[in-house]
Amino acid sequence: MHEMSIAAAVVEQVAKVAADRGATGVTTVRLDVGELAGVVPGALDFCFALACQGTLLEGASLLARTVPARARCDPCDVDWHPGMPPDLICPQCGGARAELLSGRELQIRDVEWADGPLPAHH
């Protein structure tokens, strides 16, 4: 399951930062998930809860924000929502030189620590 490997990687990364910073727990993890990333939100939530068990993140909430897909045609300087599956043919000139600007993100946006903000690491 794709979502389980994503959840496990998120837990691993957050736990490593928590250990490095001396955090005692995590209350919330916020992710940016592109609509083209192929992630099923309900499955990710379920897998995240499983991956957190027995770790510093146990009981933490996962808040995933969907990042809409955007494409841009450089020659026309027009941008649009490419749809699903993505259509990268420019709606203005019909050219196929579009660049996908967003929609494939999968990154940790921020973490809320159980013991509040952590001091700067020296």
Domain identity same for 119 and 87: no
Domain identity same for 33 and 11: yes
Tell me the residue range of the domain where 83 lies.
70-101
The amino acid occupying position 31 is L
Domain identity same for 37 and 15: yes
* Beta pairing class for 61-67 and 26-34: parallel
Domain identity same for 32 and 80: no
Domain identity same for 85 and 56: no
Asked whether 35 and 102 are in contact (CB, 8 A), the reply is no
| Tokens 């727990």 found at | 25
Residuewise pLDDT in 10s, the chain (122 residues): 589 999 999 999 999 999 998 999 999 999 999 999 999 999 999 999 999 999 999 999 999 999 999 999 999 999 999 988 888 999 999 998 899 999 999 999 999 998 875 544 43
Q: What CATH number is associated with residue 111?
A: 3.30.2320.50
Locate 40 and state its tokens: 């099923």
Locate 7 and state its tokens: 């959840």
Domain identity same for 11 and 56: yes
Asked whether 101 and 79 are in contact (CB, 8 A), the reply is yes
Locate 100 and state its tokens: 């996908």
